[in-house]
Amino acid sequence: MSVVRKISMMVGFSTILIGCQLEEGLNTDQERHGTDRDSDFNREEVSQDQKDDSRNESDIVFDSEDQTSNHQRNREVDVDPDNEDQSEDEEKEGAGHEDESESRRVEVMPDQTFELGSDQDDIRIVQEQLIEVGYQLEVDSVFGIDTQRAIYHFQKEHEHLSNDGIYGSETRAALEEALENKVEIDTNGFAEIQLPHEQKREEDHSEAEIDSVYSENVAEEALFEGMVFVGSMLNVRETPDAGAEKVGRLKNGAHVFALKENGNWTFVYSNDATGWVANPYIKEIPYDSTQKQTVSNPNDLLVLVNKKYQLPNDYEPEDLVIPDVPFPFKGTPERKYLREEAAKALEELFEASQEAGVELYATSGYRSFATQKEIFSRNVSRLGFEIASQTSAFPSESEHQTGLAMDVTSSEVNFSLTTSFGDTKEGKWVEENAHKFGYIIRYQPGKEDITGYTYEPWHLRYIGKKAAKEIDERGITLEEYLN
State in angstroms the smallest separation of the CB of 365 from Zn ion.
Answer: 9
Choose between 38 and 78: whose C-beta lies nearer to Zn ion: 38
The smaller minimum CB distance to Zn ion, of residues 162 and 390, is found at: 390
Q: Is 397 in the site for Zn ion (CB under 5 A)?
A: no
| 23 to 42: interface string for Zn ion, x by CB under 5 A | ---------------x----
CB of 42: closest distance to Zn ion in angstroms?
Answer: 13
Stretches 157-165, 403-411, 418-426, 472-480: which one binds Zn ion (CB under 5 A)? Answer: 403-411
The answer to the question of residue 407 lying near Zn ion (CB under 5 A) is yes
- Candidate segments 87-95, 229-237, 375-383, 456-464, binder of Zn ion by CB under 5 A: 456-464
**Which member of 365, 459, 460, 471 binds Zn ion (CB under 5 A)?**
459
Q: Residue 418 CB, nearest distance to Zn ion (Å)?
A: 12
Smallest gap from Cβ 330 to Zn ion, in A, equals 21
Residue number with CB closer to Zn ion (79 or 142) = 142
What's the min distance (Å) between Cβ of 315 and Zn ion? Answer: 17
Which residues, including other chains, have CB under 8 Å from residue 38's CB and lie 6 or more apart? 364, 367, 392, 393, 398, 399, 400, 407, 417, 456, 459
Q: Which is nearer to Zn ion, 29 or 170 (CB)?
A: 29
Q: Per CB under 5 A, which region of 50-58, 229-237, 420-428, 457-465 contacts Zn ion?
A: 457-465
Stretch that binds Zn ion, among 116-124, 249-257, 329-337, 400-408 (CB under 5 A): 400-408
Nearer to Zn ion, 38 or 397 (CB): 38
Least distance CB 456 / Zn ion (angstroms): 6
Question: At closest approach, how far in Å is the CB of 461 from Zn ion?
Answer: 8
Nearest distance from residue 177's CB to Zn ion, in Å? 42
Task: Tell me whether residue 261 or residue 407 sits nearer to Zn ion (CB atom).
Answer: 407
Nearer to Zn ion, 123 or 388 (CB): 388
The contact set with Zn ion (CB under 5 A) reads 38, 407, 459
